[in-house]
Structure 1
Amino acid sequence: MAQLTPARARICSDCDGFPVVAITTGLRDRDGFRQTLTATCRTCNGHGHTTRAVLARAGR
């Protein structure tokens, strides 16, 4: 018997589902921790998946 599966969200093609990353600068704080910068995907705005509104804006 066939089982129903929920529809999967479309994964962002630019970030492949990893929308926020931490990049080390190579420097350390006074406490000894590494300084990091966070970067978010501009296409999905840090969500990791695209929505139909994004596809509609692209003209599809």
Structure 2
Amino acid sequence: MAQHPPTSPRICPACDGFASVAITLGGRDARGHLRTITAHCPACQGTGTARTRRNREGARA
């Protein structure tokens, strides 16, 4: 019996799978570390995969 390969997760079309990025704020702090902030993709909330909508919000089963 042939085994089917597992399905690969769908990549988010908004960020192409790069869901979190570090953005430099410019300059360094007193200890010499580069100051950065982390930004997440708003479409996938930082997961990198597209979500499928199987049930609507507010819908009852």
More strand per residue: 1
Q: Which runs of 5 or more structure 1 residues have no equivalent in the other structure?
A: none
Alignment of 1:23-34 (within 5 A): 23-34=23-34
Q: Which runs of 5 or more structure 2 residues have no equivalent in the other structure?
A: none
Query: Sequence identity, in percent?
Result: 45
What is the TM-score with the length of structure 2 in the denominator?
0.77
Counterparts of 2:41 and 2:33, CA distance in 1: 25
The root-mean-square deviation of aligned C-alpha atoms, in Å, is: 2.0
The size of the alignment, in residue pairs, is: 55
Point out the structure with max Rg over C-alpha. Answer: 2
- By how many angstroms is 1:50 displaced? 1.0
More helix per residue: 1
